[in-house]
Amino acid sequence: MKITKISVYHQNLPLEHPYWLSGGRLKFEVLDATFVKIETDAGITGWGEGTPWGHTYVPAHGPGIRAGIETMAHAILGQDPRQLNHVERAMDLCLPGHLYAKAPVDLACWDIAGQAAGLSIADLLGGRDETGTWIASSVSSGAPDYMFGIIQSYRQMGYKSHSVKVGGDVEKDIERIRYLEEKRLPDERILYDVNRAWTRREASIVMNAVADLGITVEQPCETLDDIAALRQVTTTPISVDESLVTLQDATRIARDGLAEVFGIKLNRVGGLTKAARMRDVALAHGIQIYVMATGGSVLADTEAAILAQTIPMEFRLGTWACQDMLTVDIAPGQGARNVNGKLTVTDVAGHGIQPDEDTLGAPVAVHQV
């Protein structure tokens, strides 16, 4: 089987409400999404998506995905999409780095491989657990009662897990965390996500001040060196998100004991092929895992839910449904949807999603042999 055609679509995905990242320092209103349709000489078609969380969250640029695919197209065309490691190597040789541009191609190839084998991608990735994954809400930063209001609205949608954005003023963060922990229900899980907003000093003050609460803090500072230093002066469990980009990052975190949780974001790490190796490193080191889309439609959420559902329950902390924050649905009725706070993938071959091409409009680029 060979890849004969790559069609690239650009779609803006507006957020229902403006969103402020930790510390209120970055505002987001629309996501720049790229959808990729890969066709083969066997008549099987696969779909992928690449949607960074805006242009300012991490080094990933929406239009860069389209440009990256244009650069890599000649190396991708003619590949057998079922040979994921070959496709991965062809892309890595053609364009070093730029993992976020490779993720949508990787997902489309997994979709084709699944359809060709008559298996779900989760089964190809080692085996699908029957049980779905708890969705963590994403709670925008603000005053404690404003944030609790958001949590309450997600509770009404069945959510039992929340990723709460903190990371501004130290005193206010301690107040926010204590306030929300007091209101947390016994069966709820809250991850306090700093999105790199604290200095080492600020992180040390807050994490030690709330050490009695047994909370987990995500990405407290900018770099892995910061987190390594912080690990020496705090006991509060740490999740690494933005600093987990490559497999080398994963092995360093695991070997050096820098964190107790991996936050794997599919678009950032380059897709399922690379993310599955991080999963295995985590499992081998007793590290629990969140698997999330970086942002995007039901397709990106389903990609994350697929990998999540290959992780044993005791290691699987949750996923995210960015789709619940958008005003556009590119594949109504398809893919993993919130049901009582969980995303669940079925045993449909591939990922089972065919975006509505009327919604996507004409492709912005077509590459073919």
CB atoms within 10 A of CB 94: 16
Alpha helix (H) residue ranges in the chain? 62-76, 84-94, 99-117, 121-124, 144-156, 170-183, 200-209, 224-233, 247-256, 266-269, 272-284, 298-308, 357-360
Q: How far is the CB of 81 from Mg ion (least distance, A)?
A: 31
Q: How far is the CB of 332 from Mg ion (least distance, A)?
A: 28
Choose the stretch contacting Mg ion; rule: CB under 5 A; options: 86-94, 113-121, 188-196, 202-210: 188-196
31 burial via Cβ count (<10 Å: 0-12, 13-18, 19+): buried
39 forms beta bridges with 5, 45
CB atoms within 10 A of CB 143: 12
37, 102, 160, 165: which is the annotated catalytic residue?
Answer: 165
Q: How far is the CB of 193 from Mg ion (least distance, A)?
A: 4
Contact 286, 314 (CB under 8 A): no
Choose the stretch contacting Mg ion; rule: CB under 5 A; options: 41-49, 64-72, 109-117, 191-199: 191-199
Q: How far is the CB of 259 from Mg ion (least distance, A)?
A: 12
Contact 283, 308 (CB under 8 A): no
* Contacts to Mg ion from residues 74-133, by CB under 5 A: none
Q: From the centroid of its chain, how far is CA 178? A: 27
* Contacts to Mg ion from residues 306-325, by CB under 5 A: none
> 111 or 193: whose CB is closer to Mg ion?
193
Q: Is 269 in the site for Mg ion (CB under 5 A)?
A: no
Q: Is 218 in the site for Mg ion (CB under 5 A)?
A: yes
Give the position of tokens 């073919």.
368
- Count, residues near Mg ion per rule CB under 5 A: 3
Nearest-angstrom CA–CA distance, 328 and 308: 24
> 7 or 161: whose CB is closer to Mg ion?
161
> 193 or 303: whose CB is closer to Mg ion?
193
Annotation says 165 is catalytic: yes
> 112 or 191: whose CB is closer to Mg ion?
191
Q: How far apart are the first and last CA of the chain?
A: 14
Q: In the bound complex, which residue of the shown chain has the CB atom lying closest to Mg ion? A: 241
Q: How far is the CB of 22 from Mg ion (least distance, A)?
A: 8
Q: How far is the CB of 43 from Mg ion (least distance, A)?
A: 40
- Binding residue for Mg ion (CB under 5 A) from 106, 241, 301, 303? 241
Q: Is 193 in the site for Mg ion (CB under 5 A)?
A: yes
Q: How far is the CB of 311 from Mg ion (least distance, A)?
A: 17
* Cα Dmax for the chain: 61
Annotation says 342 is catalytic: no
> 243 or 323: whose CB is closer to Mg ion?
243
> 40 or 294: whose CB is closer to Mg ion?
294
17 burial via Cβ count (<10 Å: 0-12, 13-18, 19+): exposed
CB atoms within 10 A of CB 287: 21
Choose the stretch contacting Mg ion; rule: CB under 5 A; options: 113-121, 132-140, 210-218, 275-283: 210-218
- CA separation, residue 22 to residues 57, 85, 115, 185, 334 (Å): 11, 36, 40, 23, 32
Contact 197, 165 (CB under 8 A): no
Choose the stretch contacting Mg ion; rule: CB under 5 A; options: 102-110, 114-122, 186-194, 326-334: 186-194
Choose the stretch contacting Mg ion; rule: CB under 5 A; options: 2-10, 218-226, 245-253, 353-361: 218-226
As a three-state string, the secondary structure of 198-260 is CCHHHHHHHHHHCHHHCCEEECCCCCHHHHHHHHHHCCCCEEECCCCCCHHHHHHHHHHCCCC
> 24 or 363: whose CB is closer to Mg ion?
24
String of contacts with Mg ion for each residue 37-76, x by CB under 5 A: ----------------------------------------
The binding site for Mg ion (CB under 5 A) comprises 193, 218, 241
> Catalytic amino acids?
165, 265
